[in-house]
Structure 1
C-alpha cells in the first residue's frame, strides 16, 4: 500500500494558482509591492536591482498598473516597470519551508519580458506575457529575508509582440482595449525538496480504460527512485501504479479497475461532458530508493473524454454534440485581464453555464488556470486561443510560436479544452491568401499544435482564411436572421459558397489542394455572430448592430438565436459576446456581469426554448 507516500485525494483549495499540480503548502504573495515606472530605462544602469531604498510607489499585485484595482490606474504608455518585495520568515513558514528544501517563486503571468533578481543576484529572464515561469531563490537563513526585484519590459507599440486585444494606440479604439502590463496573475511561493515534480501531464484513453501520465522532474533522480500514482473518483479507488524514474522524466500508464470502463456498459458514469463533468482525482508522489516518505507529493486530476469530427458534426465522446458557445474577453473594468479575485473566476464560469452555453471561446487570452479548473469542474468546454501579433516577420513568428508552445504545455491536461486556436482573423498574417510565407506559418502552427497534442481539434485561423483545419469556422455579423438561414440553413445552402467566397467576403480555404479538400469536409461553425449593442450611452461605444431598448434587444436576440438553432448546415455557433468590454457594448451582460435581460429569459433564448422566426422559410 502507498498511503504513507501520497497526499490528500483531491485539490481542496480552490484558490490554488496551479490546480492540477497542487501541493499541500504554499503561500500567495499577492498584495502591496514596491513599484516604479522607468520611462528612461535607467534602472539597470543605476543599480535598482541592488539598491535598498524603496521604490516611490506601491502597487497591489497581481493587478496591472493600468487598472484601478492596482492602486496606480495609469493607462498611458510606460515601457519599463519595476517591482520589489521582501520575502521573510513569515512567508517561509506559510510555505512550509524546511532547511534543505528549495524555495520556488512562481509567476503566473508577467507581460511581457521579465527579469528577476534576489538580493542583487540575477536569477532569471522570461519572455512571454501570458505564460508562467518559476525561479529558484537562493537559501534564506534563519531569521533572514530576501529582497526580490522584478523588471518588466512591455513596449506598448511593439506589434511583433503577442498582445491579443491590448491596444497599441494611446486610447482604446475599434475592438482593442486598455493594456495589461507587468504582473497580472498570481505570484506564489513553494518549498520543495531538491528532487521534485515540475510538470505532470495526463492523456486519457477511455476506450482502453487507461490513462498515460508523463511527469517532468527538477533533476536527475537517484537510481531506484519511484513515481507512485493513485487514482480515485468520488473517493472510490480506481487504480494504483508505480514507475521507475528515468533522467528528468517518469512515465506510466494505468488501467482503471472499473467494470464500466472495461466492458463499456456503464461507461458514461466516468466520461467528462458539460452535462456530467466527472473528474478523476490523482495523487502523485516521488519516493527515493528505500525511502519511508515521499520526497515530493502533489494532488492532481483529469477527465476521461474524447473529441473528434464526423459527417459535418463535432463529436464529444464519439457522439454528436452541438457547439453552443459564447465569446469571452476575460476583461474586468477595475482589473483588466487580471481577475478581481479567485471567486470571480468561478462566477464567470457559472454565469456562462447559467446562461445556457456549453462552450466558451476565450478570445485572445490565455486564461488563468483557475478559470480552467472551474470549467473542468462545472462542465464548460473551452477553445483556447493564442493572443495575436499584428505584424509578420521572423521576430514575431519566433515569439508567437514559443509562447504558444508554453501555453499548450501548461494546459494540455484540462478536459475542458477541446480546441486549440493559434490564429484569429488572419491577425499577424494579414496577407495569408496571397503570401506564401504567411501561409507556411499558418500551416506550421497547425501541424506544430497537432504534434504537441493530437487529442484535440486545431483551428488554423479562426473565422477567416484556413489552410488545413479540423473545423471550418466563419465570422459573420449579418444581423438579418433570414440571411443567416439562407446561408447556413441547410447543407445545400452551405454548398453554394463553401468552395468559393464565404458570406463574410473572405476566401474559405487557401491551402494546398489536399488541405482544401480536407478542410472543406470539416464541420462548419459560425464562430462569431451577433454583436448586438443596446443603445450606447457614451461616446465611442458600439456594436455590430444597434438596438434602442431592452425590449428590442430581447426580440432581436430571440430572432437571431432562433435562426441559428434552425441552421442544419452548422455544427454549432459562438455568440459575440458575454460582457460589455470598454467601448464594445455588445455583451449579453454589462461590464459588471449583470444580464441586460432577466437571466431566465436569456437562457430560454440561448438554449432554443423560445419559438424561432414565425415567418421564416421552412428549410426542413
Structure 2
C-alpha cells in the first residue's frame, strides 16, 4: 500500500516482501535542536515542529527541502499516522531502512526505544502504543556526531569538505514504513544456494508465537512462473533449517544458474498456516550461484571470471547518499553495464536494498563494503563489529554480492602494517564474517597491508601503462613486500605472507578533465582524446598482466569536489561510453 505522490514509493525490502504495508516517506515535521534541549522540554509530545522536511532525504540535501550543510548533532522528526481499519488487531512494526546515527523513538508521547548504527535497517514493534482512535504520533530524535569511532564512510568529520570526504549525512536517509503482521509470522530467512548439489537451504526464524499449535509452513519455489518445487513442514521450536533439491523436469532436470550473462532468479513464496488458514505470506527470491577461489583465480559457478569493476560511491547531487528514485538506481546500473563493466565496488557505503535487487535482476556483480571508522579504539572496534555483522546478515541473500570488503586502505586501522592489535582485529572480522557466510571471499584490507585475505587487492593511481608494467611485472617482488607502491605502501602487513590468492587492482585511474573546482588523480586531461589515450594505456596494461584477475576503475560519477567520474554528478557522460566499452572488452 503506497501513495504515488511520495518519494521512493517502491517496496523497500524486495527480498522479504509482504502486501500489508504503508510507506511513510514524504513530508514530516522537522526541527534542529542545536542546544540539545528537546528531551528536557519534551518535544516528543509535540504534534508540530518548526520546519518541514521531505523524508527520506537528509536536511543537508536539496531534495529534503532544507539544504543546510552545517552540522547539527541533534534533530527531530514528527509525523501523525492513522492506521487503516483493515489492520485492526494486527501487530504494527515501524521500519527504518537506515538512519544515521542514533535513533530514539516516541509514539503517542511514550518512549519506545533506541537504535545505534547509521548503515543498517532496524525496526520497532509499536503495537501497544496505538491510541483508541487508531492514531500514531511518531516522534524521532536522531543524534549524530563527528566522532571517528562511529562507522561514517565518506562523511566528513570537519566543518568543511576535504580530500575525498564529503558533506555528512544526518538522520533518516532511507525509507520509513509500517508493516502489519499477525502474531505468528516468519521473521527472516537465510537462503544458501548450492549448485554442486543442485539444492538450496533455508534457515528460518519465526516470531515468538511459533509455539502455537497447528502451524505449518508451505514453501513454493518457481522459475518464470512455473513451480519447480513445493513442500510443507510443521513448525516447532526445533525447526531451523530446511534443505531441498530444485532440479526440475521443466528444465531437463537441471538448475538455472545465476551469472552476469544469465541472471536467473528463482522466486519463492513462504506461507504460514494456522489450523489451515494463512496467517503470513512472504515473497522472496534467490539465485543459484557459487563463488570460490582456485589456483589464483576467482571462480563463479566453478569457472574463472575476470572482474571489470567500477568504483561506485552512490552519491547524487540533490540527495547525496539517498538514491533520489528507483529510476536513478536503474540509470547507474544500466550505464555501468553499457560501458562494458560487469560489476561495481560499492565504496564506503552500505547500499540501498533496491540497488541490490536490481543488481540481482540485471546480473551486476557487487563488492559490498563497510563504512569506515577513522580511529582504532575499544569503542570503534565494538561499533564497527556490531554493525558490520548486521550488514552481512541483511545482505546475505543477494546473489549479486560476490565479495565482502570490511576494511579499506587501513582506514580505522592506520597502524595495521606493524600493530599486532589492529592486525588481530581485522583477522577477527574476517573469521566472524566467514562464520556467518562461508560462501563469499572476504578482503582484508582492500588496497594494501593485507593480513588474512581471500583476495589480494592493490590500489595504484599510476597514470600510464608502461610505468605500471615496470612496477608490477615481477609478481613475487610485489606480493612479498620487496617493493613499495602507492606512496610507500606494501601488499602485505608485517608478519603475513602471500599464499597464492587471486590479485585484483581494485583502485586505479581517477582521470579528471581540467577543472579549477575539483580534483582527480594525477595530471588532468584537456579533451576526450587525451582521456582515452590514458584510459586505454593503463587499463590494457592491467589486463595484460597475467597474474592479475580483475580491475576496478575510479569512478562512475563525480562526487562533490572529486571530479574524476566517467559521468558528471548529474549523470551526463564526459566521453563516448561506447569507446570505454571497446577498451574494456578488447
Structure 1 residues not aligned, in runs of 5+:
1-12, 609-620
Distance 1:511 1:284 in 2: 50
- 1:172 corresponds in structure 2 to 161
User: Out of 477, 502, 511, which is 1:496 matched to?
Assistant: 477
Spell out the pairing of 1:435-584 with structure 2 (5 A cutoff).
Answer: 435-489=419-473, 493-500=474-481, 501-504=483-486, 505-510=488-493, 512=495, 516-517=496-497, 519-538=498-517, 540-584=518-562
Contact 1:426 1:461 in 2 (8 A): yes
| 2:174 partner SS | coil
Aligned counterpart, 1:283: 269
Secondary structure, counterpart of 1:20 in structure 2: coil
CA distance in 2, matches of 1:67, 1:51: 25
Instruction: Output the CA distance in 1 between the equivalents of 2:203 and 2:291.
Output: 21
Q: Is 1:308–1:457's contact at 8 Å kept on the other side of the alignment?
A: yes
Q: Is the 8 A contact 2:418 2:494 kept in 1?
A: no
Is the 1:532–1:546 contact (alpha carbons within 8 Å) kept by the matching residues of 2?
Answer: yes
Q: Who is 2:219 aligned against?
A: 229
Say whether the 8 Å CA contact 1:207–1:261 is kept in structure 2: no
Is residue 274 of structure 1 aligned with residue 263 of structure 2? no
2:142 counterpart SS class: strand
Secondary structure of 2:37's counterpart equals coil
Shift of 1:550: 2.3
Give the CA RMSD over aligned residues: 1.8
Counterpart position of 1:618: none
User: Do 2:344 and 2:367's aligned partners in 1 also have CA atoms closer than 8 Å?
Assistant: yes
Equivalence for 1:65: 59
Structure 1 Cα separation of the partners of residues 215 and 181 of structure 2: 16
Residue 282 of structure 1 aligns to a residue whose secondary structure is strand
Is the aligned partner of 1:23 residue 2:4? no
Match of 2:173 among 180, 184, 205: 184
Q: Distance in 1 between matches of 2:372 and 2:239?
A: 32
Give the whole-Å Cα distance in 2 for the aligned partners of 1:149 and 1:544.
Answer: 48
Q: Deviations over 1:439-474 (max 9, x none)?
A: 110110111111110000000110011111000011
- 1: CA distance between counterparts of 2:98 and 2:92? 19
Structure 1 residue aligned with 2:298, among 299, 314, 329?
A: 314
* 1:159 equivalent in structure 2: 148
- Hey, what's the Cα distance between the residues in 2 that align with 1:429 and 1:347? 35
Q: Distance in 2 between matches of 1:382 and 1:23?
A: 26
Matched, 1:146 2:136: yes
Instruction: Say whether residues 1:77 and 2:55 are aligned partners.
Output: no
Which residues of 2 match residues 5-154 of structure 1 at below 5 A? 15-52=10-47, 54-89=48-83, 92=84, 97-138=86-127, 140=130, 143-154=133-144
Q: Deviations over 1:239-282 (max 9, x none)?
A: 1122332339642112114259897xx55xx1100011000000
Take 1:520 and 1:544, find their aligned partners in 2: how far apart are those partners?
32
User: Which of 380, 396, 411 is residue 412 of structure 1 equivalent to?
Assistant: 396
Q: TM-score, normalised by structure 1?
A: 0.90
Listed one character per residue, the Cα deviations across residues 409-457 of structure 1 (whole Å, up to 9, x for unaligned) are 1110000000101100010000011211111101101111111100000
In structure 2, the gaps of 5 or more residues are: 1-7
Q: Is the 8 A contact 2:461 2:521 kept in 1?
A: no
| Partner SS, residue 497 of structure 1 | helix
Q: Distance in 1 between matches of 2:220 and 2:444?
A: 37
Q: Secondary structure at the match of 1:201?
A: strand
TM-score by length of 2: 0.95
CA contact (8 A) 1:531 1:545 kept: no
The residue aligned with 1:328 is 312
1:363 alignment counterpart: 347
